[in-house]
Amino acid sequence: MLERKKRVKKKTSGSEFDGLLRQAREKYPYDPQRQVEFFRSEQTSTKYELVGLLKVTEMNLAEKYKTFEVSSENMDCIFRSLVDLTSHLKEDLPDGVYEYTLNNLKGITDSILKQYADINAVTWSPKTLFPASALPEANLLL
């Protein structure tokens, strides 16, 4: 018996969201920040505002820029959000959804972790280690 793979279906395709995105792009064709603000000003659902933020950012990253300076604190927020979103996904999503996402993120995360390792290899030294009692936070109760 042949096993059928589940199809990956975009939930926002052909929806009210597409109409809002089209309106935002028509109203502010060269201003992605205003496009994102459009989703807020239209008092859309939090989901549409989030998807609008992500979609507008993704569309503009692909078109114009090559590198960005992003702090590790901001990267932490991005990855915490990704972990939270993926932990709340439906369990019956097609494997293709996970494969697509994994393939998109694998190179990025490999690069980030390599940079992290390179930075730590240069800055870490046994001489820089202090006993916990020497740290200012040592008096905090854990």
Over the stretch 14-60, which tens digit does the pLDDT of each residue have?
Answer: 588 899 999 999 999 989 999 999 988 887 788 888 889 999 988 88
For position 139, what pLDDT does the model report? 46
pLDDT at 142 over 50: no
Q: What is the pLDDT of residue 28?
A: 93
Same domain, 85 and 62: no
Residue 5: name the closest of 97, 106, 101, 102 by CA.
97
What is the tally of structural domains in the chain? 2
| Token output for 14 | 């052909």
Each residue's pLDDT tens digit, 83-111 = 888 888 777 778 788 888 888 888 888 88
User: Is 12 in contact with 18 (CB distance < 8 Å)?
Assistant: yes
Q: Is the pLDDT of residue 2 over 50?
A: no
Q: Does residue 83 sit in the same domain as residue 118?
A: yes
130 vs 19 pLDDT, higher one: 19
The pLDDT of residue 3 is above 70: no
Pick from 33, 8, 38, 9: which is nearest to 22 by CA?
38
pLDDT at 64: 62
In a domain, 8, yes or no: no
76: number of Cβ within 10 Å: 10
Question: Are 39 and 75 in a shared domain?
Answer: no
pLDDT at residue number 127: 56
73 part of a folded domain: yes
Give the structural domain span for 104.
69-122
Residue where one domain finishes, among candidates 43, 66, 89 = 66
Is residue 128 included in any domain, yes or no? Answer: no
For residues 128 and 28, the model is more confident at 28
Report d(CA 19, CA 21) in Å as an integer: 5
Domain-ending residue, one of 66, 95, 110: 66
